[in-house]
Amino acid sequence: MKILVVGGGGREHALAWGLSRSGTVDRLFAAPGNAGIAEIATLVPVSAGDVDGLVDFAQQEAIDLTVVGPEAPLVAGLADEMQARGMAVFGPTRDAARLEGSKAWARELCERHGIPSPRSRTFTRIEPALAYLEELGDPPFVVKADGLAAGKGVTVAEDRDTAARALEDCLVHGLFGEAGQSVLVEEFVEGKEVSAMALTDGRTVVPLALAQDYKRAEDGDRGPNTGGMGAYSPLGFVDDDAESKIAAEILGATARALADEGVRYVGVLYAGLMLTAGGPTVLEFNCRLGDPETQVVIPRLRSNLAEVLLACVEGRLAEQELQWAPEACVGVVAASAGYPGRVQSGKNIAGLESVRELDGVEVFHAGTAARDGRVLTAGGRVLTVAAVGSDLDAARERAYEACARIEFDGMTYRRDIAAGAARTVR
């Protein structure tokens, strides 16, 4: 089988790594990939946003399956274009990808189908949005740009003034352009965050192992929001009952809601959840795998990833039963100084060879580039060190041992990924 992976982050490296171990993959391509992916796949100099370029490449190379990592090409219609040319693609169509592409549409879907979600309303004018803050009562509030805003469109406002400024940024100053022309104002819900991802072929829904992601830049959940600074799996604090509820009342119910509305959804259904005292509630949906959650979930998957993804595309997911390793996995993201703000690239990354000597550790590259036999930084999130171990403590220890062997100018990473999580294992 010839597979094309679209994207060039840590998630796509983990996907390519999982696919390369499938045994049924003869050729693996990645567009555009990164220095780590280049070790296991042929890089294609086409960006993930170049829909025409990707479709042309897949057709010329007679790719059997295209696996799309990021959301932007899905929201832009990559799956539609590929399907129109008769090609197999893992990822939802533009219509289905509205689940992530429009937070307002996703909220309305939840409301129509009774899927638990926070109180929320969507506004295009500032005055009624400010009035709704009064109606919600006491802060905090959550203000979200409706469309894709490169992970920067959500503000958790501790007070009314901050919420008002976030609304002004979108609705008056046009900070996020079209993506911020509609804004959601929501109640803040408390609890523990869980990344619940599932594969679906539009009929069958198969949940993946649950993971938890660390979104803030600094230890102790301080600092700005990021794309994710680390993750771990499994989650000891989610008991069987809660896991079944998530599978049935969130993931299954969402797939059914989409089907009932005539939307065929093939790919990853990712619900960012808050486990509240009253049960799980949906903070947001994504139409693709999480990053860095993928980097800790794929190493635990024992099933043949290529076969599973192909079964999804061919509507045969019901035939698949996923097998998971009992081991835990902890992933620590190493970022460039300044991330999530401006960063400097081109720094030499040392120690990658030394990490290869460690059992159970994979380094999934994100912002890296190869030059003259060296690996250099090329972005904010540079790599994820993912380590498996007999339990979360063992995995954590290995991950941090590996981090200590890696060095680049300005390297920064959180020291508290999965700290204390081992104590909550069932």
3-state secondary structure of 112: helix
DSSP one-letter string for 264-315: ---EEEEEEEEEETTEEEEEEEESS--TTHHHHHGGGB-S-HHHHHHHHHTT
Q: Is the Cβ of residue 10 or residue 202 nearer to ligand GLY in the bound state?
A: 10
Q: Is the Cβ of residue 230 or residue 252 nearer to ligand GLY in the bound state?
A: 230
Q: Is the Cβ of residue 122 or residue 286 nearer to ligand GLY in the bound state?
A: 286
| Cβ 45 to ligand GLY shortest distance, Å | 25
Q: Is the Cβ of residue 82 or residue 289 nearer to ligand GLY in the bound state?
A: 289
- Compute the distance between CA of residue 295 and CA of residue 11 in angstroms, rounded to an integer: 6
- Compute the distance between CA of residue 8 and CA of residue 309 in angstroms, rounded to an integer: 19
| Cβ 134 to ligand GLY shortest distance, Å | 31
Which residues neighbour 400 within 8 Å (Cβ) at sequence distance 6 or greater? 332, 415
**Any idea what DSSP says for residue 17?**
H
Beta-strand relationship, 65-68 and 2-7: parallel
- Compute the distance between CA of residue 423 and CA of residue 426 in angstroms, rounded to an integer: 9
| Cβ 331 to ligand GLY shortest distance, Å | 11
Q: Is the Cβ of residue 74 or residue 88 nearer to ligand GLY in the bound state?
A: 74
Report the candidate in 293, 294, 288, 285 with the shortest Cα–Cα distance to residue 257. Answer: 285
Q: Is the Cβ of residue 22 or residue 34 nearer to ligand GLY in the bound state?
A: 34
| Cβ 215 to ligand GLY shortest distance, Å | 7
| Cβ 376 to ligand GLY shortest distance, Å | 24
Report the candidate in 22, 353, 319 with the shortest Cα–Cα distance to residue 2. Answer: 22
The site for ligand GLY (CB under 6 A) is made up of 213, 228, 286, 290-291, 293
Determine the straight-line distance between the first and last CA of the chain, rounded to whole angstroms. 39
| Cβ 350 to ligand GLY shortest distance, Å | 27
- Adjacent-strand bridge partners of 324: 301
| Cβ 158 to ligand GLY shortest distance, Å | 22
Q: Is the Cβ of residue 25 or residue 72 nearer to ligand GLY in the bound state?
A: 72
Report the candidate in 114, 115, 170 with the shortest Cα–Cα distance to residue 284. Answer: 115
